[in-house]
Amino acid sequence: KVLIDVPRSDLAEELAQSQTKVQVLQDTLQQVLDRREEERQSKQLLDLYLEALKNEDGILSKVAASEAAPGKEMDEVDTGTSSTGTAAKTALSDRILAALKEKPAPELCLDSRDLELVLKEDTEALSSALRWDKQKAEALQQACDQELSKRLQQVQTLHSLRSTSKGKKTLP
């Protein structure tokens, strides 16, 4: 970073090289820093994705257990006596709904697991829970889908980078 920030003329003089060669050196260093930052971000995303998968497995096992033994909540929905109103229509938590309502770009604030939940949600139920029109709810779901696709692309890029660099050196 220091070599990139040094004025080109000073660095060229110190290294006894032309300014063109120093510019190439600084550009290469900047590319390396950019790549490292992308790798760091991709690793973070991969870690979040793996954590989300673990959480999803836990949630799926809980859902399977609750479906095997339906409880009071199922009875209320079935008989129509639920006092939760729109909460009975959506599987989204209050935290997710609050983020969707309050944030200008909620798809950037939610983790991948929450984005998947928003995508799986019925558009009618989502618009009802948020008290939005159907078009706005559809636009939100499209934005969530695009963000999730972007994150998946970053994870795939990380895998590609790792497989490419695997032959060059062993990663920890």
pLDDT digit string, tens, across residues 138-152: 998 898 899 889 888
36-85 per-position pLDDT tens digit:
999 999 999 988 888 888 887 777 666 666 665 555 444 444 444 444 44
Between 68 and 159, the higher pLDDT residue: 159
Yes or no: say if 134 and 124 are a contact pair by the CB < 8 Å rule. yes
CATH class of the domain comprising 94-167: mainly alpha
Identify the pLDDT of residue 67: 62
CA neighbor of 100 nearest in space, from 110, 85, 91: 110
Mean pLDDT of the chain: 79
Of 72, 69, 68, 146, give the one whose Cα is nearest residue 106. 146
Best CA proximity match to 137, nearest among 112, 109, 106: 106
CA–CA gap between residue 138 and residue 91 (Å, rounded): 17
Segment 99-151, tens digit of pLDDT? 888 877 888 888 888 888 888 888 888 888 888 898 988 998 898 899 889 88
Q: What is the pLDDT, as a whole number, of residue 80? A: 44
- What pLDDT score was predicted for residue 18? 92
pLDDT at 94 over 60: yes
